[in-house]
Amino acid sequence: MATTFHEAQASILALNDDELPFVFEPTDAGVVGRWNYANQKWAAVLGAQSIDADYTLWVLLDEANGTFSFDERETVERSGLSAGGDGIGLSYERSTFRGHKKSYSFNLGAAILAKVTDRQGDHVGQTYGYTFDTDEIKQPVIDTLEAAGWEPRRKGLFGKLFGA
């Protein structure tokens, strides 16, 4: 037997820890987890660049069926200023994603000056980088909900027809 909506919500909120790079907040439908996994600016010999990347995990709790599902969203913004033989260039790129995601990314680089916001706070120096793994935020939620008697919602045609 699954715990109640409010008990499940409270158990996910209990995962919050100052040592983690993300935070969970309550919603009317369950919980939302927010992770700003890349917020960096760096300067190189011929220009400067920045990246800002956010990941949001919506945990949707269906108390009537004792099931949960995820809705994931990611936004990545990159901008840069460069100078070279062809003159000065300015670039901006924004990408968004919504759906189900399993990803791991790692970025490490060197620059004349870099400002990085990460788990330990701001750092100014010659390196920049980040790591991001969706399992780091999702797996504790899955473990917590399954321990509380909740099950993942079955999706797709065969899941709806056969409960698989």
Q: What are phi and psi of 123, to 5 degrees?
A: -135, 135
Return the minimum-mean-pLDDT range out of 32-46, 127-141, 146-160.
32-46
Query: Exposed, middle or buried by CB within 10 Å (0-12, 13-18, 19+), for 56?
Result: middle
Predicted TM-score of the model (pTM): 0.68
Rounded CA separation 133/106 (Å): 9
pLDDT in tens, 61-103: 999 999 999 999 988 877 777 666 666 777 677 777 776 666 6
- Which residue type, as a one-letter code, is found at position 90? L
Contact present, 42 and 114 (Cβ < 8 Å): yes
pLDDT category of residue 162 using cuts at 50, 70 and 90 = very low
pLDDT in tens, 37-69: 666 565 555 566 777 778 899 999 999 999 999
Query: Domain spans of the chain?
Result: 5-41+51-100+134-151
- Is residue 9 scored above 90 in pLDDT? yes
**What does pLDDT average to over the chain?**
77
pLDDT at 51: 73
